[in-house]
Amino acid sequence: MFNLPNLLTFLRIVLSFTVFLLLEKGYYLSAVVLFLLAVLTDFLDGFFARRLEQKTALGQLIDPLADKLLFWVVMGYLFGHCRKSLTFKILVFSVFTKDLLLVLGSVYLLKKEKLPKPNLLGKITVTYLFGVEVICLLTFTRSVEIVPFEGIYLIGILLVVASTLSYLGKFLREEKTKKEEESF
């Protein structure tokens, strides 16, 4: 239960709250550094779980929750404090819709004792969105002055839609296969 990958995941949860507090206090550069550290723990927990053969049911459950917490702490801050463009709002809405569908699908699959596994497009999308958050946060530090945000947001929207359709397609195919197997 308490192994290195799970400890890294719990660290990400603690860092999420710390990032939020730093943002609220105006310590933007410190928030960016801790945010990047938290993102690094996301990659490291999976790496160590595979490498050390320490995959656990707890880890499979809390890892995606920790990811969502970190993402939404920062996205919520950005949404509430600075990003007023329509494209940004569409990006937030599309990510929220995707996450809601994933949560509902996960609850459904959890009842069947089967958690959804992330796919490559989903991982690319999450990585891209974390990058978008970093760029947005860096604007607070004045480290980034001119960035084509609308284009960055639009790419994010396209990735989120493609990722959502990918997960939905996989889910529907698996359900169809299962029903076909049950009918025989």
Supply the CATH number for residue 102's domain.
1.20.120.1760
- Into how many domains does the chain fold? 1
Pairwise CA distance, residues 9 & 128, whole Å: 20
CB 149 within 8 A of CB 85: yes
The vertex-140 CA angle with 139 and 146, nearest 5°, equals: 20
- Of 63, 60, 74, nearest to 10 by C-alpha is 63
Read off the tokens for 33: 């550094």
DSSP letter at 113 equals T
Here the contacts of 79-85 (C-beta below 8 Å, separation 24 or greater) are: 81/23, 82/136, 82/139, 82/140, 83/136, 83/149, 85/149, 85/150, 85/153
What would the mean pLDDT of 180-184 be, rounded to a whole number?
73
Compute how many other C-beta atoms are within 10 angstroms of the C-beta atom of residue 133. Answer: 22
Residue 174 has a CB neighbour count (10 Å cut-off) of 13
- The pLDDT tens digits of the residues spanning 54-70 come to 888 888 888 888 999 99
Segment 159-179 mean pLDDT: 87
Q: What is the pLDDT of residues 113-162, one digit of tens each?
A: 666 677 899 989 999 999 999 988 888 887 666 667 889 999 999 999 99
Domain that holds residue 77: 4-183
The amino acid that residue 116 corresponds to is: P
Give the pLDDT confidence score for residue 108 in this predicted structure. Answer: 76
For residue 89, give the nearest of 162, 165, 161, 157 by alpha carbon.
Answer: 157
